[in-house]
């Protein structure tokens, strides 16, 4: 850069400053008007903080700050002080009781049961995913004899932000009312077939376009929305309704001009359009309107009269690994063929999550007289909100200095193959039973073990034993809306929520049992609503995997490999859709000619501003979704996190000569707790990164650990995600070179 460029840049910067200032003033005025409106509405005697928060697009705690009398009031005999519960993610009607922040139970502490009783014998089967036998957990009951107090919590490092409070179930009848199913809301098998959308595949860098009718090379210029729509529909018929971008990521072309990728994506989606085109405003029942502003895999939707189209990233389904559009299209063809063997009415929808959910609905029992033939009940909004707020997803953790030395002797990546497929055999169905501390104390040791083995979700107080020197076992809330960390310091006590799989692991891990006190819990009847779906996906995945290594044509091997990864995405994201997070709607509006902000939807928050548009998002709470089952997703995630620590690596004993299917034995212990203390560098969902190379056999079965990266020489310990991903890439390259 020379002096002239620098001077011109400063002039551009001042121009941007002058454009931003009126928008900032406009935004501040709107926010002040909103705050006044909240305070005025809060004076209404029946006003509810959660209702105001939803309408204003704020958190409950922000609303309470403006109208303090709407916050929870301390009971006459309860704690004093300015206790305000953080917002739980529960979508509630005005009559519903709000979730309470966790408070330490008042009464006698539970006895120390860290020494486990005699184990309960249980035959391990395919449906039983726990790899260790549970102990009876400690309980809290005011009628029990007093016990020595728990060790004091380990001090929190100075400067750390306080962890968010997790909600709990209200005491008495208020909490008991949560344990119900939503009226007239059942998951039933659909009686229609999804509409088929014709697809085209475009490399935005090279201009190569492939569709069922042929192949062409397009001139795309800078690959703006206008240039892509004009060039594609000058070449293909209007019946093409979905354009998958396989390379080039055109929405990132101006990323250098923006601080956040999301703003670059929003600018691209909202660029000028060819004559006759507009942002989509309405669709049929199985379609969505408007754009999805995602930093890496956005979805743009437009229409021209009755013609509708989407531009999507193929990265939603798999990393194309540089494959050309023809190979990517072949991968989708092979994906459909493999799924068609399992579902005769399969239709590939826009995303793997939509496809996974649709395929699952087509496995719901509908035979008269069958269990749940009338449909699976959907839990109350309160229970769904509780699970949403207290059940995390995959474990993501980086152990940098000072926890690890600055230099480590090696880097090894172990990734679980098609992991979630192994944890879909058993799930909780029906309305859960509440298991309070007193109720749990009244059970026999065997009944306690059975409760912990059942599909369940527990509020617990945990104490890490003295002498513990390995990774943390149970998640605890960390600062941030959805963040979790895993305490590991000996003697530390914390209160959290965790699934039954993780509680059992804490009580019966291969090193030493943790002390767990049951405070409250939800226990479901055991069923298998996901088993048939996961089995079909596993069979499709196995078929594609076999051809990805045995086909004679290299391009077809790549197509089969990409298709198998798409099946993995269908399972992974299909489970995610069951969680049914509170609905978030995104959109954008064009700025007025004078630069002022136009009206945005009620309750929306501004998330980005470009030269021409304002991007917004609105939290809509929980919808009345007949296929919302966060209890199933939470159970799968909990079992997968537990298996990340301790499981069994499969060993194939023989294969069926006709079908080629493997007969699998129990195998050898595997997981982070079966590696030396101090050797774990990181966790990433279903992968372990360690300083030692384990000798676990690999048979290619779902849940098995596959060595994906290896560098058996000294490495600098990563201290950030950027450094981590650099080592991840180098480790994979080194292992590939090692095998050549």
Predicted confidence (pLDDT) at residue 575 exceeds the cutoff of 80: yes
Using omega within 30 degrees of 0 as the cis cutoff, is the peptide bond preceding 402 cis?
A: yes
Q: Rounded to whole angstroms, how far apart are CA atoms 52 and 55?
A: 5
Tens of pLDDT, residue by residue over 225-243, are: 999 999 999 999 999 999 9
Range of the domain at 267: 198-316
> How confident is the model over 187-226, as pLDDT tens digits?
999 999 899 999 999 999 999 999 998 999 999 999 999 9
Residues in the chain: 740
Report the pLDDT value the prediction gives residue 97, as an integer from 0 to 100.
37
Cβ atoms within 10 Å, residue 302: 20
**What is the tens place of the pLDDT at every residue in 400-430?**
999 999 999 999 999 999 999 999 999 999 9
Residue spans of alpha helices (H) in 367-432: 381-390
pLDDT band at 611 (very low <50, low <70, confident <90, very high): low
Task: Specify whether the backbone of 685 is left (phi greater than 0), alpha (psi in -120 to 50) or beta.
Answer: left
Q: Give the residue with greater pLDDT, 662 vs 667.
A: 667
Contact 516, 138 (CB under 8 A): yes
Range in 118-122, 385-389, 635-639 the model is least confident about: 118-122
Q: What is the mean pLDDT of residues 548-577?
A: 95
**182, part of any domain:** yes
What residues contact 192, with CB distance under 8 A and at least 6 apart? none
Beta bridge partners of 414: 688, 707
Contacts of 274 (CB under 8 A, 6+ apart): 226, 229, 230
For residues 548 and 651, membership in a common domain is answered with no
414 & 439 share domain: no
**Do 411 and 213 touch, CB atoms closer than 8 A?**
no
Strand-by-strand arrangement of the 583-590 sheet? 583-590, 613-621, 605-609
Q: Is residue 21 part of a domain?
A: yes
Does 38 have pLDDT greater than 50?
yes
Report residue 21's pLDDT band, with 50, 70 and 90 as the boundaries: confident
| pLDDT, tens digit (0-9, with 9 covering 90-100), for 696-724 | 999 888 999 999 999 999 999 999 999 99
Tens of pLDDT, residues 647-656: 998 887 666 6
Q: How far apart are CA 597 and CA 590, in angstroms?
A: 8
Report whether pLDDT(139) > 50. no
Phi, psi angle pair for 245, to nearest 5°: -85, 120
Cα 318 to Cα 204, 246, 321, 498, 615, distances in angstroms: 17, 10, 9, 31, 28
Please check the confidence at residue 71 and state whether its pLDDT lies above 70: no
**What is the 3 state secondary structure string of 363-377?**
CCCCCCCCCCCCCEE
User: 456: which 2 tokens?
Assistant: 């369940």
Least confident of 170-179, 475-484, 587-596: 587-596
Q: Does residue 128 have a pLDDT over 60?
A: no
100 with 85: CB under 8 angstroms?
yes
Q: Which residue has the tokens 């690994």?
A: 321
Which pLDDT belongs to residue 597?
A: 65
Do 640 and 731 reside in the same domain of the chain? Answer: yes
| Calculated CA dihedral for residues 472, 475, 476, 478, nearest 10 degrees | 100
Residue 86 has pLDDT above 60, yes or no: no
Q: What is the pLDDT of residues 670-693, one digit of tens each?
A: 999 999 999 999 999 999 999 999
pLDDT digits (tens, 9 = 90+) for 561-574: 999 999 999 999 99
Most confident of 3-17, 131-145, 495-509: 495-509
pLDDT for the residue numbered 727: 96
- What are 217-227's pLDDT values in tens digits? 999 999 999 99
Per-residue model confidence (pLDDT) at position 595: 65
Rounded distance between C-alpha atoms, residue 137 and residue 205, angstroms: 58
Q: How far apart are CA 96 and CA 622, in angstroms?
A: 14
- Quick one: which of 62, 81, 58 has its CA closest to 606? 58
The CB density around residue 620, as the number of other CB atoms within 10 Å, is 13
pLDDT for res 29: 80
- pLDDT at res. 377: 95
* 219 and 291 housed in the same domain: yes
Q: Output DSSP code: residue 167.
A: E
pLDDT of residue 213: 87
Cα–Cα distance measured from residue 500 to residue 522, given in angstroms and rounded to the nearest whole number: 10
Q: Which three-class secondary structure state does DSSP give residue 680?
A: strand
372 and 281 share one domain: no
Is residue 117, in this structure, part of any structural domain at all? no
pLDDT of residue 714: 95
Using DSSP's 3-state secondary structure scheme, residue 422 falls into helix
In order, the DSSP letters of 432-489 are EEE--HHHHHTS-HHHHHHHHHSSEEEEEEEEPPTT--S---S-EE-SSSS-EE----
Please work out, in degrees rounded to the nearest 5, the angle formed at the alpha carbon of residue 336 by the alpha carbons of 331 and 342: 135
User: Does the pLDDT at position 83 exceed 80?
Assistant: no
- Per-residue DSSP letter, 642: H
Q: Got the DSSP string for 173-232?
A: HHHHTTSSEEEEEEE---SS-PPP-EEEEEETTT-EEEETTEEEE---TT--HHHHHHHH
Given pLDDT bands bounded at 50, 70 and 90, which one contains residue 12? confident
CA 239 to the chain's CA centroid = 34
The answer to whether position 642 is within a domain reads yes
Are 649 and 675 within one domain? yes
Q: How many CB atoms lie within 10 A of CB 59?
A: 16
Indicate whether 414 and 463 sit together in one domain: no
DSSP string of 601-627, one letter each residue: -TT-EEEEE-SSEEEEEEEEE----TT
The mean pLDDT value for 252-280 works out to 90
Q: Which residues of 9-37 are buried (b: 16+ CB within 10 A; e: fewer)?
A: eeeeeeeeeeeeeebeeeeeeeeeebbee
Residue 431 covered by a domain:
yes
149 pLDDT more than 50: no
- Between 84 and 595, the more confident residue is 595
Residues 505 and 539 occupy one common structural domain: no
Crossing angle for the helix pair 554-579 and 531-550, nearest 10 degrees?
Answer: 160
* CA dist., res. 131 & res. 124, Å (int): 8
Reading the block at residue 205, the tokens are 């860098």
From 316, 337, 357, the end of a domain falls on 316
Residue 152 has a pLDDT of 37
What is the pLDDT of the chain when averaged over all its residues?
82
Cβ neighbourhood burial of 540 (10 Å; 0-12, 13-18, 19+): buried
- Whether residue 147 has pLDDT greater than 70: no
Regarding whether 203 and 176 lie in a shared domain, the answer is: no
In the block, tokens 């129990």 appear at 666
Tell me which of 548 and 64 has the higher pLDDT. 548
Which residues pair with residue 211 across a beta bridge?
200, 214
**Would you state the pLDDT for residue 583?**
61
CB neighbourhood size of 722 (10 A): 8
CB 218 within 8 A of CB 200: no
On the question of pLDDT at 275 being above 90, the answer is yes
Each residue's pLDDT tens digit, 458-500: 999 999 999 999 999 999 998 776 689 999 999 999 999 999 9
| The pLDDT of residue 133 is above 50 | no
Inside any domain, residue 126: no
**Does residue 124 register a pLDDT over 50?**
no
Is there a domain that residue 387 lies in? no
* Co-location of 492 and 577 in the same domain: no
Counted domains in the chain:
5
Contacts of 341 (CB under 8 A, 6+ apart): 539, 540, 543
Give the residue with greater pLDDT, 21 vs 333: 333
Longest dimension (CA), the chain: 82
Question: How many Cβ atoms sit within 10 Å of the Cβ of residue 43?
Answer: 10
- Judged by DSSP in three states, 538 sits in helix
Best mean pLDDT range from 119-123, 152-156, 284-288: 284-288
Backbone CA torsion sign across 675, 677, 679, 681: positive
Residues 242 and 340 occupy one common structural domain: no
Is 608 a domain residue?
no
Is the same domain home to 184 and 241? no
Inter-residue contact 320 to 247 (CB < 8 Å): yes
Contacts of 559 (CB under 8 A, 6+ apart): 323, 327, 328, 330, 331, 333, 334
Q: Please list the residues that pair with 709 across neighbouring strands.
A: 413
Instruction: Give the pLDDT of residue 333.
Output: 97
Q: Point out which residues pair with 685 in neighbouring strands.
A: 395
């Amino acid at each position: 850069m020379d002096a002239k460029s620098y001077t011109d840049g400063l002039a551009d910067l001042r121009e941007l400053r002058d454009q931003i200032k009126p928008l900032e003033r406009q935004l501040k005025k709107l926010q002040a008007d909103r705050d006044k409106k909240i305070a005025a509405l809060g004076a209404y005697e029946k006003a509810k903080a959660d209702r105001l928060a939803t309408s204003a697009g704020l958190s409950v705690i922000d609303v309470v700050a403006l109208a303090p009398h709407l916050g929870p009031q301390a009971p006459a005999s309860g704690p004093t002080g300015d206790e305000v519960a953080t917002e739980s993610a529960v979508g509630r009607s005005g009559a519903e009781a709000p979730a309470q922040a966790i408070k330490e139970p008042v009464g006698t502490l539970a006895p120390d049961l860290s020494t486990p009783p005699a184990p309960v014998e249980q035959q391990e089967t395919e449906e039983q995913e726990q790899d260790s036998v549970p102990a009876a957990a400690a309980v809290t009951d005011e009628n029990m004899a007093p016990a020595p107090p728990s060790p004091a919590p380990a001090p929190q490092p100075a400067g750390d932000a306080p962890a968010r409070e997790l909600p709990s179930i209200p005491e008495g009848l208020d909490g008991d009312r949560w344990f119900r199913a939503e009226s007239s809301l059942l998951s039933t098998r659909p009686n229609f077939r999804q509409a088929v959308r014709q697809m085209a595949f475009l490399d935005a860098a090279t201009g190569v376009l492939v569709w069922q009718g042929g192949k062409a090379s397009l001139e795309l210029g800078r690959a703006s929305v206008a240039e892509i729509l004009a060039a594609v529909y000058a070449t293909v018929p209007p019946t093409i309704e979905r354009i998958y971008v396989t390379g080039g990521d055109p929405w990132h072309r101006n990323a250098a001009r923006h601080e956040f990728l999301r703003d670059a994506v929003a600018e691209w989606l909202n660029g000028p359009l060819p004559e006759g085109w507009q942002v989509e405003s309405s669709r049929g029942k199985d379609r969505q309107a408007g754009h999805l502003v995602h930093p890496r895999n956005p979805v743009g939707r437009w229409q021209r009269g009755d013609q509708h189209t989407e531009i999507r990233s193929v990265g939603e389904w798999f990393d194309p690994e540089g494959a050309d559009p023809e190979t990517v299209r072949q991968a989708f063809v092979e994906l459909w063929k493999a799924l068609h063997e399992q579902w005769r009415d399969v239709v590939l929808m826009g995303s793997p999550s939509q496809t996974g959910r649709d395929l699952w609905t087509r496995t719901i029992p509908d035979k008269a007289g069958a269990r749940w033939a009338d449909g699976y009940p959907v839990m109350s909004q309160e229970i769904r909100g509780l699970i949403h707020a207290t059940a995390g997803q995959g474990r993501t953790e980086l152990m940098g200095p000072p926890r690890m030395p600055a230099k480590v002797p090696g880097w090894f990546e172990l990734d679980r193959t098609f992991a979630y497929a192994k944890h879909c055999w058993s799930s909780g169905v029906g309305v859960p039973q509440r298991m309070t501390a007193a109720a749990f104390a009244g059970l026999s040791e065997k009944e306690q073990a059975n409760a912990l083995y059942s599909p369940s979700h527990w509020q617990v107080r945990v104490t890490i034993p003295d002498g513990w020197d390995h990774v943390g076992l149970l998640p605890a809330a960390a600062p941030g809306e959805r963040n979790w960390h895993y305490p590991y310091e000996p003697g530390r006590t914390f209160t959290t929520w965790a699934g039954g799989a993780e509680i059992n692991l804490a009580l019966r891990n291969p090193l030493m049992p943790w002390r767990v006190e049951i405070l409250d819990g939800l226990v479901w009847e055991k069923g298998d609503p996901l088993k048939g779906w996961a089995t079909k996906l596993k069979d499709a995945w196995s078929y594609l995997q076999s051809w990805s290594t045995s086909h004679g044509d290299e391009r077809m091997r790549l197509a089969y490999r990409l298709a198998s990864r798409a099946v993995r995405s269908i399972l992974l994201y299909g489970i995610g859709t069951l969680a049914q997070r509170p609905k978030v709607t995104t959109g954008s509006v064009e700025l007025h000619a004078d630069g002022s902000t136009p009206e945005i939807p009620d309750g929306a928050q501004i998330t980005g501003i470009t030269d021409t548009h304002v991007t917004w998002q609105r939290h809509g709470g929980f919808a009345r979704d007949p296929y919302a089952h966060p209890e199933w997703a939470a159970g799968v995630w909990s079992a997968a996190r537990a298996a990340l620590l301790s499981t069994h690596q499969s060993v194939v004993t023989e294969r069926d000569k006709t079908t080629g299917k493997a007969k699998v034995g129990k195998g050898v212990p595997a997981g982070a707790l079966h590696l030396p203390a101090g050797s774990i560098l990181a966790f990433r969902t279903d992968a372990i990164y360690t300083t030692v190379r384990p000798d676990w056999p690999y048979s290619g079965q779902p849940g098995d650990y596959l060595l994906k990266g290896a560098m058996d020489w000294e490495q600098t310990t990563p201290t950030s995600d950027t450094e981590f991903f650099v080592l991840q890439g180098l480790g994979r390259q080194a292992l590939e070179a090692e095998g050549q």
